Amino acid sequence: MRQPAKKMRLQRLAVGGVLFLLALLVWWPLWFLCTGALMPLDELEATIGPALGRAEGMVCWHLLPSWPTLQPLMELLLDTPQFFAMFWNSVGQVFPQLIGQLLVAAPAAWALSRLRFRGRRVLLHLYVVLMLMPFQVTMVPSYLVLHTLHLLDTPWAVILPGVFSAFPVFIMTRGFDAVPRPLLEAAAIDGAGPVRTLWRIGLPLGIPGVLSALVLSFLEGWNAIEQPMTFLKNQAYWPLSLYLSDITTQNLGVAMGASLVMLAPAILIFRFGQPYLELGIQAGGIKE
Amino acid sequence: MARDHTLQGAERRAAALLLAPSLTGTTLFLLLPFAETVRRSLFDGRGIRFVGLTNYRAVVENTAFRMAVANTARFIAVCLPLLLGISLLLALGIRALRTPHREGGGRVFKTTFLLPMGIPVASIVLLWQVLFAKAGIFNTFLVSLGKNPVDFMGTGAAFWVLIATYLWKNTGYDMILWLAGRDAIPQDLYEAAAVDGANGWQAFRWITVPNLMPTFVLVTILSLLNCFKAFREAYLVAGAYPHQSIYQLQHLFNNWFLQLDLARLSAAAVMVAGALLVLILLVQKIRTGEET
């Protein structure tokens, strides 16, 4: 009995070792971003400058900053108004989308999940098909409608298509499926209307599905590249995600700091939303 | 009976009310404009004169379109097996760390491998440049091994950088799907097999593999559909004008969009939609097949 237990332990150790090595592929970039933001400018120029064609020689990287400083971060936060504008553009484009999705998708999902009516299955199929279509397909239709409504080159060009995305409807529907029907029938007998039932019973019990949809939508919106790139020609409306991707690195320290500030909200949401994120992924793939 | 009828009527009315905002938006922002896209694909550039399938023929005969389709196909052919295999191994590895009483670090690794999904592309652009530039970290490493440096961005090597980037960012997503599938297999099966003297490999071959088949099909199709969204990774690796080995459909669409070539763009979009619709209906069939 001893032998197999020992063998099992060794096996686990080996598996753990391999996973650890792979995990370094994730940890190292995060480490790079955190230490890079604390590195003084001259050290950045000397170490990674060559990679960006700013200095001679080859790149090298110090595991720790030789002289940690908050100076680049301070410069970013205090002296770079452009950065602030982009940051607030991102916020101003992502959160209206989330609020809109909550108002539009949650009631629709509730009806699709918990109410019986003819055509329910067909509608559900429709939402799934729309949800899985990539941007290549929705790009021209979105352009046509935004052009007709004169919304191109305004933040609404990013917000409105996001609000009416089919994706949160589907994820929230999966979440509401967990609400037991007898509870609803009891509420109906007590005379509660459909909106009240959704508010009083549906939202509290179906909140994991709603949060799943919102976490996934946040990550998607915060990382948006295609939509703003296509529909926002005016750089004044660009979100941080697009601006940073196009960065010409006038100031390495500021760029490093900006990368970290871009990362921070996403990591924060990830930290607290991870269970919902996993739930959302599973809802997309496998029947509950 | 009469009461029941009115209850159903009330449910119908409630459903109509609750669905109205979403359906209005979907119709206005997706369905109607898509119908217009289909119409435009059959008309000339100004959308006035009916030209039949001319636009479609122009798209299919276009060399850039062919290259983009071939690149997208090549990307999927290489990326998909790697993505499925690595994510499955990660999921099984994490499972193997678990003991009946402890997670054994499985949680930390699960979080770690899912994390890149949450990392915005924009925040790692700079890092990728440092890694893959001509004088970057990888080349420094290659030179120190006595090899010649590689121009990662300007040659066919860009394709492999894109593959690695895509895997780095998306393996966690598939891993979660695999884990859910694996967790759904009843532990009794393994215990019964152990009693019968099956070893680890036999249990894997005869219990895990067959029971993961439905998961396999779904993960494959979902990953396939996701591969069409690899533009962000390509943009991260090479910006808007990449080496031609990673020039994908989205790049072509962006180009045609800049030229405002709506007729060709519409035809191409309709074709992509048609091809994907077939795949999606397949997923739907599997899903509903499972429910019954």
pLDDT computed for residue B126 by the predictor? 83
Structure confidence by residue, pLDDT tens digits, B118-133: 898 888 888 888 888 8
Out of A230-244, B2-16, B60-74, B178-192, least confident range:
B2-16
* Rounded CA separation B222/A95 (Å): 27
Is the pLDDT confidence value at A199 over 60? yes
Residue B82 domain-assigned (yes or no): yes
Residue B17 domain-assigned (yes or no): no
Structure confidence by residue, pLDDT tens digits, A118-160: 899 899 989 988 988 999 899 999 999 999 999 999 999 999 9
pLDDT computed for residue B292 by the predictor? 44
Q: Do B21 and A141 touch (CB under 8 A)?
A: no
How far apart are the CA of A109 and the nearest CA of chain B, in angstroms? 8
- A29 touches B at CB < 8 Å: yes
Is the pLDDT confidence value at B3 over 60? no
The token pair at A121 is 């299955």
The token pair at A114 is 């918990």
Structure confidence by residue, pLDDT tens digits, B37-55: 999 999 988 878 898 899 9
Select the residue of A161, A188, A245 nearest B235 (Cβ to Cβ).
Answer: A245
User: Which pLDDT band holds residue A286 (cuts at 50, 70, 90)?
Assistant: very low
B215 burial via Cβ count (<10 Å: 0-12, 13-18, 19+): buried
User: Which pLDDT band holds residue B238 (cuts at 50, 70, 90)?
Assistant: confident
Residue B99 domain-assigned (yes or no): yes
From A9, which residue of chain B is nearest by alpha-carbon distance?
B97
Alpha helices in A149-288 (DSSP H): 156-163, 166-176, 181-189, 194-197, 203-222, 226-231, 240-245, 252-285
Is the pLDDT confidence value at B27 over 90? yes
Q: Is CATH 1.10.3720.10 correct for A75-285? A: yes
* Rounded CA separation A152/A157 (Å): 6
In chain A, ranges of CATH 1.10.3720.10 domains: 75-285
Select the residue of B8, B15, B120 nearest A222 (Cβ to Cβ).
Answer: B120
Residue B5 domain-assigned (yes or no): no
The interface residues of chain A toward chain B in range 157-176, judged by CB-CB distance below 8 A, are 160-161, 163-164, 166, 169
Residue B237 domain-assigned (yes or no): yes
Residue B139 domain-assigned (yes or no): no
- A240 touches B at CB < 8 Å: yes
CATH of the domain at B75: 1.10.3720.10
> What ipTM does the predicted assembly reach?
0.87
Q: Which residues, 6 or more positions from B243, have their beta carbon under 8 angstroms from its beta carbon?
A: B153, B154, B155, B156, B158, B159
Structural domains in chain B (count): 1
Alpha helices in B133-208 (DSSP H): 137-144, 157-183, 187-195, 200-203
Out of A42-51, A136-145, A207-216, B277-286, least confident range:
A42-51
Structure confidence by residue, pLDDT tens digits, A92-120: 999 999 999 999 999 999 999 988 888 99
Residue B168 domain-assigned (yes or no): yes
Q: If you average pLDDT over residues A190-205, what whole number do you get?
A: 84
Which residues in A lie closer than 8 A to residue B289 (C-beta atoms)?
none
**pLDDT higher at A5 or B32:** B32
- B18 touches A at CB < 8 Å: yes
Q: Each residue of B156-182: b (16+ CB within 10 Å) or e?
A: ebbbebbbbbbbbbbbbbbbbbbbbbb
pLDDT computed for residue B288 by the predictor? 67
Cα A250 to the center of its chain, rounded Å: 28
How far apart are the CA of B224 and the nearest CA of chain A, in angstroms? 11
**pLDDT higher at A9 or B289:** A9
pLDDT computed for residue B225 by the predictor? 85
Out of A253-257, A277-281, B87-91, B249-253, least confident range:
A253-257
The token pair at B83 is 């993505």
pLDDT computed for residue A200 by the predictor? 86
Q: Do A19 and B97 touch (CB under 8 A)?
A: yes
Domain span holding position B245: 63-113+152-291
Residue B270 domain-assigned (yes or no): yes
Task: Report chain A's mean pLDDT, rounded to a whole number.
Answer: 86
